[in-house]
Structure 1
Amino acid sequence: MEKVVKPWPALWALVFGFFMILVDSTIVSVANPSIMRGLGADINSVIWVTSAYLLAYAVPLLITGRLGDRFGPKKLYLIGLVVFTIASAWCGFSTSVEMLIIARVFQGLGAAMMTPQTMAVITRLFPPDKRGPAMGLWGSVAGIATLVGPILGGVLVDSLGWEWIFFVNVPVGVVAFVLAWRLVPSLKTNRHRMDIPGIILSAVGMFLLVFGIQEGESYNWGTIWGPISVWSLIIAGIVVLIGFVVWQAFNKAEPLLSLSLFRDRNFSLANAGITTVGFTITSMALPLVFFFQLVRGMTPTQSALMLAPMAIISGVLAPFIGRLIDRTNPRNVALFGLVLLGLSLALYSRLLAPDTEVWVLLIPSALLGLASAAVWAPMSSTATRNLPPQQAGAGSGVYNTTRQVGAVLGSASIAALIQARLAAELPSAPGSQPSGDFSLGGQLPEMLHSGFSAAMGQALLLPAAAAILGAILVAFFEKPRPVGEGWGAGPKTAAQPVVSPSAK
């Protein structure tokens, strides 16, 4: 007799660790000045503290998703959690910026092992028609964590020092390990053959593309070294990834990524849509934080708290949205969320002025919370609804990869746009780039407030446009098909008994 597992405790155990790794994507941003002072680093080196993590996080996601299918999502999750936790302690004890960057690479690798497994377990433990609340929890964690990072980072840096943004992960990681060990079931594995050429092509292609996009601004989108330029890396990455897709199509054995997944219209559209969401959420924060700190004179913690309504409202509403999408077409909920996301950012764009009351600036933040709650769960639920159990890890890896690529694109694009708009609005202001002295401390001179605010407001129209593009993509979602018999490949759960092929 198969063991009956309770899917909700298993899910809570997984999202506890998932929240931690997503917080680490943004927590370092407010600590950069303190890290520079503490380790005697320059700004280019300290930017790599975040870049190294995001790069090591994004590149292996396709591979780690498939490894979860092969060796079991619980095993990969626990290994990744151990790597992440040890690397966090290493980060805190770093005595040079070079050591910190290397430790962040291992943190990113640990995160890459963990992330696809959370969605894979949801896909395998919850039947499609009961997956909404589970995806609501997963989505709210993904949305809130990106906002909690700067707030938590500001509090820890101001009170204990920059090292504690990493040390805090150690006890959290230990608790997350115990919870996952006890509550997450060991699901049935699928014996996949290792597609070595596919692994090499995907890793090299993703590295070249993500590195080129992520570091383009650092090199003024020009030469990196000798004949190698940013654009040559990006183009080479695209070419290698095209080669990866061609190899997947012609591999007669077992490809790393089954292209048959993309025959499902909703899976393909959801992946394109989540790219725009990753782009929007990542790119919207930088203009806002610059405005709050440099024009309104707020501390890092105060500026992060201006986005607190978004995090709170999103967290409160996410469970209700999760239940709603089990009873209605997820397309309509996601469409509402993405349109509201774009309109909220457009409203923010209009309100960024030196004399706008602080309480007024909280209104679009609250609207963003409502929008965020309505986006994550419907998108992820639609993407995973028709995934076959043996492809749950691979599909989750693809979905999380496209989200991370969107985030990297958003980060690079908003930095370039801010620089361009500052050059237009402050043509005679020395040092008018956000990567210069303005970003590291002190308020701007009052004479520059209007131009700087205008530039930040104009930059916000980019993530607003990305959200509207996402809404257009979501509008073409098909209505979810009825759940067929035979769903499931793991142990029996309280939510849905497994029907084995022989029982059909």
Structure 2
Amino acid sequence: MTTLALEKTGAPVRRTRPIAAVLAAVGIPTFMVSLDNLVVSTALPVIRTELHASITDLQWFVNAYTLPFAAFLLTAAALGDRLGRRRMFIGGIIIFTLASAAAALSAEAWQLTAARAIQGLGGAAITPLALTLLARAVPANFRNAAVGIWGGITGLGVAVGPVVGGAVVDGLHWSWIFWLNVPVGVVAVVLAATVLDESRGDGRRLDPIGLVLSAGGMLLLVWGVVDGPDRGWTSGRVPVMLGAAVVMLAGFVFWQARNSAPMLPLRLFRSRGFSLVNVVTLTFSAGAFGSVFLLAQFFQVVQGLSPLQAGLRTLPWTAAPMIVAPLAGLFAGRIGQRNLIFAGQVFLAGGLLWMALGLSVTASYTSLIGAFALAGIGMGLTFAPVSTMVLASVDQDSQGVASGTNNTIREFGVAAGVAALSSIFSSLGGFTSFDSFIDGTRPAVLTGAAVIAVGAVVALALPRRA
């Protein structure tokens, strides 16, 4: 049970709240957001045919979601600290739900891309604030376990995403993968409004210059990375966007160092744990989700399976985090955050290496089950310890912005990974034949495994315990 009430002075203190209700209030919206990271993966071949989409359109169906997500996480966390975290959280759920309805109604590729971008804006207000609201709502002695359960809910969204997408496409229509969010969103708003209590940061004034520089810089950076493989890295708008992004982000760092009330206190990076865990987050998300983007299409494109059959075959990978993440949270205090994160990266890199080497036109499913399970265990060992280390590496008033920073880096990694590995795929293979798909996918997934292996080395330098 948690408690939070209002003292006579007006200062908030804890009053009774069932922990299960708190977990539901923050977990259901998080589930929606994590589900939509992968729910389109098994639907991509069908959407590609129905909307006459190109490989670039397919990238944008994924990256239009992650781009604004990454760009506005810090902004949403900062506004939540100032205007109220619950208020921003509920606003994010409403935006996400309405955008899901718009995605379901899309009849052309650009409409789906636009709706996915607005979904990303809503998600940017949900994810960092969910973790902060959870950390504030549960007792300190239950926090690791609560974060582990929250990680398990995130894992559940990842796990059922491909299966839900496949089942809906097979049984109904691809648009229903988005219609499903509407009733869930309504329930989430009611729960958040009735269960969660309002909280704010340390009351510092807003930093409008910092908001513009951070959001604009991240937007241009992710957009440039996404457009680079298709439009070229050395000519056109891509180098202009990347150059402008560097200037804006450098200006953001300069401004934060000199601002008396920064939206991102640079002192956070004096913590070795906080700095290094964000590096691991970047390599993990780039390697894993860039590989998922291609591997999720393998069973349909090469082996001719239905979307549901393809989704079910990914379950040994995607379902494992749902089981492993809560266990990692429960035993993190005994085993150590660093050890769990390191093991997670080793298992995930090993799983991807196994998959890449085992891919072929005639590969049997049984030859890949072990690789999927190993990668899933690695992801499960990563989610909760990373989140816990981020929160434990900073003071309580900085948890919102710390969570926002970590999620910004994660979503940038997703966008960069999808763009980079898709570029390798397009350069060495394509959709013209089964062999061509394998020729492009194998080196791309090998690259993803190598990127994650770098993160494993970095994880060795993390503090033993947060």
* TM-score, normalisation: structure 2: 0.90
Give 1:92 deviation, angstroms. Answer: 2.0
Distance 1:206 1:144 in 2: 28
- 1:187-336 mapped onto 2 (5 Å cutoff): 187-221=199-233, 223=235, 228-251=236-259, 253-336=260-343
Q: Rate the CA distance shift 1:87–1:295 in 2: closer, same or farther, 3 A.
A: closer
* Counterpart position of 2:449: 464
Any conservation in 2 of the 1:26–1:149 contact (CA below 8 Å)?
yes
* Counterpart position of 2:3: none
Any conservation in 2 of the 1:59–1:206 contact (CA below 8 Å)?
yes
* TM-score, normalisation: structure 1: 0.84
Any conservation in 1 of the 2:66–2:414 contact (CA below 8 Å)?
no
Any conservation in 2 of the 1:68–1:76 contact (CA below 8 Å)?
yes
Distance 1:20 1:39 in 2: 24
* Counterpart position of 1:480: 465
* Counterpart position of 2:347: 340
User: Which one-letter code corresponds to 2:426 in the other structure?
Assistant: Q
Q: Rate the CA distance shift 1:372–1:85 in 2: closer, same or farther, 3 A.
A: same
Moved more, 189-198 or 125-134: 125-134
Percent of residue pairs identical: 34
Q: Rate the CA distance shift 1:458–1:249 in 2: closer, same or farther, 3 A.
A: same
User: Which one-letter code corresponds to 1:63 in the other structure?
Assistant: T
* Counterpart position of 1:497: none
Any conservation in 2 of the 1:65–1:113 contact (CA below 8 Å)?
yes
* Counterpart position of 1:502: none
* Counterpart position of 2:409: 402
Give 1:116 deviation, angstroms. Answer: 0.9
Aligned residues: CA RMSD: 2.3
By percentage of residues, which structure has more helix? Answer: 2
Q: Does 1:353 align with 2:338?
A: no
Any conservation in 2 of the 1:287–1:457 contact (CA below 8 Å)?
no
Extract unaligned runs of 5+ from structure 1: 423-432, 439-443, 482-504
Report SS of the residue matched to 1:374: helix
Give 1:147 deviation, angstroms. Answer: 4.4
Any conservation in 2 of the 1:275–1:403 contact (CA below 8 Å)?
yes
Moved more, 471-480 or 36-45: 36-45
Moved more, 27-36 or 149-158: 27-36
* Counterpart position of 1:391: 398
Q: Does 1:453 align with 2:461?
A: no
Any conservation in 1 of the 2:39–2:164 contact (CA below 8 Å)?
yes
Distance 2:29 2:465 in 1: 30
Deviations 1:275-329 (A, max 9, x none): 1111122112134234323332222332232210122222122222111102231
Q: Rate the CA distance shift 1:64–1:301 in 2: closer, same or farther, 3 A.
A: same
Give 1:258 deviation, angstroms. Answer: 0.6
- 1:134-145 mapped onto 2 (5 Å cutoff): 134-145=146-157
Any conservation in 2 of the 1:352–1:454 contact (CA below 8 Å)?
no
Distance 2:233 2:321 in 1: 36
* Counterpart position of 1:114: 126
Tell me which of 23, 27, 39 is aligned to 2:39. 27
- 1:405-444 mapped onto 2 (5 Å cutoff): 405-422=412-429, 433-434=430-431, 438=432, 444=433
Distance 2:53 2:359 in 1: 33
Distance 2:143 2:156 in 1: 20
Distance 1:96 1:315 in 2: 34
Any conservation in 2 of the 1:71–1:190 contact (CA below 8 Å)?
no
User: Which one-letter code corresponds to 2:463 in the other structure?
Assistant: E
Deviations 1:11-62 (A, max 9, x none): 2321111111222223234434544565566665565443322222211111
Moved more, 41-50 or 279-288: 41-50
Report SS of the residue matched to 2:362: coil
Give 1:464 deviation, angstroms. Answer: 1.0
Give 1:97 deviation, angstroms. Answer: 4.1
Give 1:335 deviation, angstroms. Answer: 1.0
Report SS of the residue matched to 1:4: strand
Give 1:142 deviation, angstroms. Answer: 3.2
Between the two proteins, the alignment pairs up a number of residues equal to 454
Distance 1:121 1:79 in 2: 14
* Bigger Rg, which one: 1
Any conservation in 2 of the 1:52–1:108 contact (CA below 8 Å)?
yes
User: Which one-letter code corresponds to 2:254 in the other structure?
Assistant: V
* Counterpart position of 2:10: none
